[in-house]
Each structure stands twice: as structure tokens, then as C-alpha cells.
Amino acid sequence: MGHCIVSIHVTGAHHNGRSNDIDQMAADFAIALARMGHSVTAATVVSGSEQDLRSQRYPLVGEGR
């Protein structure tokens, strides 16, 4: 067990409010990791600018999900 960084480079739809958007799927993945007991310390989508996935729209564990 130790620290790691998961980096996925993707081209596709994002920020459209749909369940198959990259930003929503990334947030769901971060939530799944946390639910399995992993410590998620940062989750960010970069698409021209950065978006913290802990925002109101994409809450992580303990923030409305």
C-alpha cells in the first residue's frame, strides 16, 4: 500500500450534465475508489482549465452522495 497517481488522457464529451460525460465519470470513479477504502486526496479534470471534482455539482464521499 502506498501513494500513487492515476492519470487518464481522454477525448470526449464533458461538462454537458450527462451521466456519460468525462467529468461526471471521473467523479464517479473517485467516489468508487473512496468507497472501497482508498484515500482520495485530489480529483481534478483539466480541459482548458481545471475543475475541482469536489465542487457542488460533483460531490465526493460525504458531500451529498
Is residue 63 very low, low, confident or very high in pLDDT (cuts 50, 70, 90)? very low
Four-point Cα dihedral 63, 1, 7, 13, nearest 10: -40
Question: What does the pLDDT read at residue 62?
Answer: 46
Is 0.85 surpassed by the pTM of this model? no
16-53 pLDDT, tens digit per residue, is 878 788 888 988 999 999 999 999 988 887 776 556 66
Question: What does the pLDDT read at residue 50?
Answer: 55
Question: What does the pLDDT read at residue 35?
Answer: 93
DSSP category for residue 54? T
CB < 8 Å & 24+ apart, contacts of 52-57: 53/23, 53/26, 53/27
Domain ranges of the chain: 17-65
31/57: higher pLDDT = 31
